[in-house]
Structure 1
Amino acid sequence: MSTVGQVTPGAPPGAATAVSGKDAGRVAFASFVGTALEWYDYFLFGTASAIVFNRLYFTTLNPTAATLAAFATFGVGFAARPIGALVFGWLGDRMGRKPALLITVVMIGAATGLIGLLPGYATIGIAAPLLLVLLRLVQGIAVGGEWGGAITLAVEHAPPEKRGWYAALPQVGSPVGTLLSSGAFALVLLLPSDAFDAWGWRLPFLIAFPLMAIAVYIRRRVEESPLFDEMMEHNEQAKVPALDVFRKAWGRLLVAMASATLGVGGFYMLTTFMISYGTDTLGLSRSLMVNGTLVAAVVEIAVIIVVGRMADRLGPGRVTLWGGLLSAVFAFPLFWLVETRNPFVIVLAMATGVAVLSIAYAVSGALLAELFPAQLRYTGVALSYNLAGALTGFLPFLATALLAAGGGASWPAALLLMTLSLITALGGFLGGRMRVRDNVAAA
């Protein structure tokens, strides 16, 4: 039996909970693998919105309206994520982190696989886009409970002096998920156009079924949080965690949302929207834009690993502040570089943009987890991250609408990215001064 989170029998509430560095690494790795598989499922939808759904599920609309409809469906997933945060936050803070994470991985895997089986508009008419929206809602609810739980579990197993590093490991799941999803689409885009439209695009979605089985196996082997076990022993769980977050920690919630804004909204501005902008407005090839996200994902992995180690020395608030400011500086130049239409420069711009915004994203888990006490952590982390997602998930839609209104000019999109960056910088500045310390000790 593992020694993770052993508590002396009869210990008073607040007694130090012992954590083992070896077991903490194992749990963080398991959180990373499960998160990577879930983000793979979720990110597929973003790429498909830009190059598939607008043509096969919204075929009665003109090209611009079809793209707007596809991005609106994409944004529905973000709107649903706070619902998942409420539901799974309650489950995670009341019943345990582990059962919540098992349910989320089954939900998102099943929803994603079913998208791969969904007939298009030409086959079942209006039912096709309606079912697509429904499956996207299920995805959003599941992801709303996933990230917060993975971060909470990793942080609560980590030695106190290494929480920044262990919280960064699940963050690597995001670029790995991007790499897998973009790589899958890059491969099927090699098919002839007719084959791609008929069945090729479905293959990356259908892979979600076996990946779901792998993720369930991994999640079943992850042990419960030692801090949650201690709370259970002393009956310290909040009865309705969400109410306590809104009543007692609303200021922390707002700061956490601000600090997470760039990592969520900025990422989709430089991937989902950028793919659409490059292909539809600049006339660039779909393969070039998708391959740009592949390179950016590889760079993001390296940035998260390096910056995650810095967080324990500098503090996640300070790292978030400087990451937000740097992203603001780069916002306009990134779009100018893409507009050169030079393939090498475009890939370089996408990689640089994602790398810069990943500075704040790398430490987002550590910062959010330490803004809330253990009794409210799952709910607080999930709500703040997913409310930020709900507010920024429609940015590809908004940027596309502004692009059409402005005759193809990119400055509104660049201004949106700069605004997100400055909001996150402010969140990092305030969040670094509001951190909560758990009473934990290394085993």
Structure 2
Amino acid sequence: MTAGPTSTAPAIAPPTGRHARKAAVASFVGSTLEYYDFFIYGAASALVFNKIFFPGIDPALGQILSMATIGIGYVVRPLAAGVIGHFGDRVGRKQMLVFTLVSMGLATFLIGCLPPTAAIGAAAPVLLVLLRVLQGISAAGESVGAVTISLEHAPANRRAFFASWVNTGAAAGITLASLAFLLVSLMPQEQLLSWGWRIPFLASVLVAAAGFVIRRRLPEAEVFEHELENKEALELPVKVVVRDHWRTVLKVMAFGVWAVVSSIFSAFSLSYAAKEQLVPGSVMLAVTIVTAALSVGVQPLFGILADRIGRKPVFITGNLTCAAAVFAYFWAVSTSNIPLVFVTGIVLMSVGYAMVNPLGPAMVAEMFETRIRYSGAAISSQLGLILTGFAPTIAAAIVRPGPGGWLPVAIFTAACCLVSAFVALVFVRETYRTATEDLGLKAGANA
């Protein structure tokens, strides 16, 4: 296999704190929109979509179909990631991030405008799926591109901290989405199903507008502009990824299953609690609000810790915490013990997942060299996220009625966390002391 180019060009000036902060803010706002949009879709799928778009069928099957529309958005992501990543590496990170932001906001707004199945028949769920696909296309390049531009702008010894703001934006988006759906869920059922559910979708245009203004003003990182001037950067990025880094792609696919925790917690557990009448939907949304709001505060702290002691110790500890806490969380939900649901939810999401969530995307981006970073990280991570997208569907299929019926879901989630921790321990290189321009180069291809 042919190794990537080595750093023989003149030294690149260290990034400035001003540009690093600007990139972090732009990434934070964009990620807030992405996860706001994705979470309100997950909440709507759990609470109302089965009644609006899949009426007249068995409730259990309707729930599975509703959950499946979450996964559909992930199916198109690997292909879209290849296209968006290509232009991100060849044209610029900023242009692609503006594109993903606008398309995500547009798709979410249009979902809020969809007529129900009762009005237009089978066209309603078809249009819902198509708009979900557009959301998936946008998401394919959003978080990876935001992480890429954030860490490339950041000082080498603070990459984890600045990159952590991408998925801290995710926690902020989940907080906003949960608040929005908590408010509309308090409406009378008839009003909720007729027009109330649309409000959170239509409101996404406000976040999209703010993110568009910020991202338009963000410059490219010098380390990326240096690669654009290098003739070797003209080689097709996807070709380089497939030829020289296919083992890294496989590694990332296994490494990335940690994200299953998020879709199980935010989408499936809400559906499970409501369907089994264990915990009111408003309480479950409140749990999500509390855990996500706490994560906004603690995730950057774990980024700082990862810059000081390394990515792997923090990431692995977070996965192990999630693997244990998911059992306690579902047990608390199954017993309808609301105080314990809050406590275990905080341990699961604001401690364990808050250690993993801000570091995972940055660790993936750091596995690839600058000239193909966007393509490599986008393609590999999106392939890995297919399981995350269908995790609520899998959970809905394996959950059992009655006491202890949640156990297969907890085992599935914990197994994903343990796989991710094992891959990080054995196969992922520690990079917290590696210069940004040397990332992905030191061990050559397929490292």
If the length of structure 1 is used for normalisation, what is the TM-score? 0.93
Please say if 1:94 is aligned against 2:95: no
Q: Could you tell me which residue of structure 2 aligns to residue 123 of structure 1?
A: 119
Alpha-carbon distance in structure 1 between the residues aligned to 2:403 and 2:330:
15
CA drift of 1:178 comes to 0.2
CA distance 1:408–1:83, change in 2 (3 Å): farther
Report how many residues are paired: 429
Amino acid at match of 2:207: L
Partner secondary structure for residue 279 of structure 2:
coil
**Does residue 358 of structure 2 align to residue 365 of structure 1?**
no
User: Does residue 353 of the first structure (1) align with residue 348 of the second (2)?
Assistant: yes
- 1:431 Cα offset (Å): 5.0
Match of 1:305 in 2: 300
1:164-194 deviations in Å (ceiling 9; x for gaps): 1111111201110100111100111122111
Structure 2 CA distance for aligned equivalents of residues 286 and 97 of structure 1? 39
SS of the residue corresponding to residue 172 of structure 1 reads: helix
SS at match of 1:439: helix
2:198 alignment partner, one of 187, 199, 202: 202
Q: CA deviation at 1:93?
A: 0.7
Q: Which AA in structure 1 matches 2:324?
A: V
Q: Does the aligned pair in 2 maintain the 1:15–1:439 contact within 8 Å?
A: no
Matched-pair contact (CA < 8 Å) for 2:334–2:403: no
Between the aligned partners of 1:109 and 1:439, the Cα distance in structure 2 is 33
Corresponding residue for residue 7 of structure 1:
none
**Could you tell me how far 1:238 is from its partner in structure 2?**
5.0
Q: Does structure 2 conserve the Cα–Cα contact (< 8 Å) formed by 1:13 and 1:234?
A: no
Gaps of 5+ in 2: 1-6, 439-447
- Answer whether contact 1:43 1:181 (CA < 8 A) is retained: yes
Structure 1 residue corresponding to 2:34, chosen from 33, 38, 41: 38
Letter of the 1:377 counterpart:
R
Whether the 8 Å CA contact 2:278–2:334 is kept in 1: the answer is no
Check 1:348–1:317 CA distance in 2 against 1; reply closer, same or farther (3 A cut). same
Other-structure match for 1:334: 329
**1:186-215 deviation per Cα after TM superposition (whole angstroms, max 9, x unaligned):** 111122111111101100001122322222
Alignment correspondent of 1:320: 315
Instruction: Determine if contact 1:96/1:224 at 8 Å carries over to the other structure.
Output: yes
Contact 1:93 1:238 in 2 (8 A): no
Going from structure 1 to structure 2, the CA distance change for 1:407 and 1:270 (only over 3 Å counts) comes to same
Unaligned runs of 5+ in 1: 1-10
- Does residue 58 (structure 1) correspond to residue 54 (structure 2)? The answer is yes
C-alpha contact 2:105 2:208 (8 A) present in aligned 1: yes
Letter in 1 for 2:273: G
Selected match of 2:437 from 403, 414, 439: 439
Asked if structure 2 preserves the Cα contact closer than 8 Å seen for 1:153 and 1:224, the reply is yes
* Cα distance in 2, alignment partners of residues 419 and 267 from structure 1: 14
Query: How many angstroms apart in 2 are the aligned matches of 1:120 and 1:100?
Result: 33
Number of the residue aligned with 1:109: 105
Q: Does 1:344 align with 2:311?
A: no
**Cα displacement string for residues 351-401 of structure 1 (whole angstroms, at most 9, x for unaligned residues):** 221121221112113211211110111112212221121122111111111
Residue 430 of structure 1 and its aligned partner are, at CA, apart by 3.4
> Quick one: distance in 1 between partners of 2:185 and 2:305?
38
CA distance in 1, matches of 2:380, 2:304: 24
**1:225 is matched with which residue: 221, 225, 235?**
221
CA distance in 2, matches of 1:422, 1:238: 39
Do the aligned partners of 1:80 and 1:390 also contact (CA within 8 Å) in 2? no
Q: Is contact 2:278–2:335 with CA below 8 Å preserved after alignment?
A: no
1:101 is displaced (CA, Å) by: 0.5
The Cα shift of 1:321 comes to 1.7
> Hey, what's the Cα distance between the residues in 2 that align with 1:12 and 1:366?
25
1:73 lines up with 2:78 in the alignment: no
TM-score (norm 2): 0.92
What residue is the counterpart of 1:295 in the other structure? 290
Say if 2:364 and 2:377, in contact at 8 Å, map to a contact too.
Answer: yes
Quote the Cα distance in structure 1 between the aligned partners of 2:313 and 2:207. Answer: 37
Name the SS of the counterpart of 1:156 in structure 2.
helix
Q: 1:152 to 1:412 in 2, by over 3 A?
A: same
Counterparts in 2 of 1:376 and 1:431: CA distance versus 1, 3 Å: farther
**Which moves more between the two structures, 392-401 or 111-120?**
392-401
Question: What do you get for the CA RMSD once the two structures are aligned?
Answer: 1.9
Distance 1:343 1:238 in 2: 57
Maintained 8 Å contact 1:81/1:387: yes
- Is 22-31 or 11-20 further displaced after alignment? 11-20
